[in-house]
Chains A and B, each alone.
Chain A
Amino acid sequence: MHIAEGFLPITHCAFWTACTLPSMRDSIRQLRRPEVRARRLELAAAGGTLLLLTALKLPSVAGSSSHPTGITLGTVLFGPRVMPALVISVLILQALLLAHGGITTLGANLFSLGICGPFTAYLAFRTCRRFGLPAAISAGVAASTSSVAVYGAAALQMALAYPDPQTGITGALGKFLAVFAWTQIPIALVEGAMTAAVYRLLEGVAFTAKSEVAR
């Protein structure tokens, strides 16, 4: 769920962009680490999953579309700090070629999809592992949780830009959450199942495909 070009006021765009700059810098630094570079194939698998899942715009009852996030596999394999650099490449591609998302809203979309989502996935995965759940199941739960978190963050960004005249930001947040819940929650569940299956598949072939956070 990307925020469209021109949807946010320019001050909000600048704010969200400023919020993402330190993470972007850190993410590029993370990608240059020798441990990450040595696992290029796993990084490619994570990038491929991200490309695939963000392209699956599923039709919704409301006549619009939503899509899975695809960030969890990369988060589980490499940690959340690597993800902003991967996510921004997909966001730029979609903004320029598909008119999906936008250049002015890049910072806001990166914040929700590249920072908020991966860190939620990381926390969810770690919590599940602490409770002794298998890694694949934990990855699935993390995917569902992060998908909901991304949708929540995007709804909050829109609510901050368009507060309800009567009920303020809280009221607007409720409205934005409600209008997208129909599609985002089923998508989150499907994404969880898909991520668990893909993780299980990778785990079978990649002896290094052990979660960074699970060790």
Chain B
Amino acid sequence: MKRTLLALTAALLAGVVLFAIRSGTAARSGSDDRAMAVAAEMRAGKKLGRQPFGLTPNGFEERLLFALQAGSGVGIFCYAYLGLRRRRSEG
């Protein structure tokens, strides 16, 4: 039961990560166009008051960085999970 659950969770996580990486949108500068569209509706001609600090990654770089972040998250989680399992087996 536990193994099935583990496999299902891993498959789900991997699927979501792959899906997000493969079909991640080329969202420009991390800003969400939908919010800007609504804001422009309230205040015509509204533009962002400030641009993001530092270099703005392009679509590919952004996807890569998000994948790195997700990978770090998976790595840290696995490290913690294995550590907890080992601690439990040691009693």
Contact = CB atoms under 8 A, between A and B. Distances in A.
Interface of A: 1-10, 41-42, 44-45, 47-60, 62-66, 93-104, 158, 161-165, 172, 175-176, 179-180, 190, 193-194, 197-198, 200-202, 204-207, 209
A6 B66 contact: no
Contacts of B83: 41, 44
Interface of B: 2, 5-6, 8-9, 12-13, 16-17, 19-20, 23-25, 27, 29-39, 41-43, 46, 48-54, 56-57, 62, 65-67, 69-70, 72-81, 83-85, 87-88
Contacts of B17: 52, 56
Given A6-B50, A51-B72, A204-B2, A172 B79 contact: no
Judged by DSSP, the binding face of B is helix
Contacts of B35: 3-4, 7, 158, 176, 179-180
B70 A51 contact: yes
A57 B25 CA distance: 8
Nearest to B31: A4
B41 to A, nearest CB: 7
A37 B62 CA distance: 34
Nearest to B48: A6
A165 B52 contact: no
A102 B39 contact: no
Interface centre among A7, A49, A62, A198 (most CB of B within 10 A): A7
Given A59-B25, A64-B25, A41 B54 contact: no
Contacts of B33: 62-64
Given A57-B27, A101-B30, A45 B77 contact: yes
A7 B80 contact: no
Nearest to A49: B77
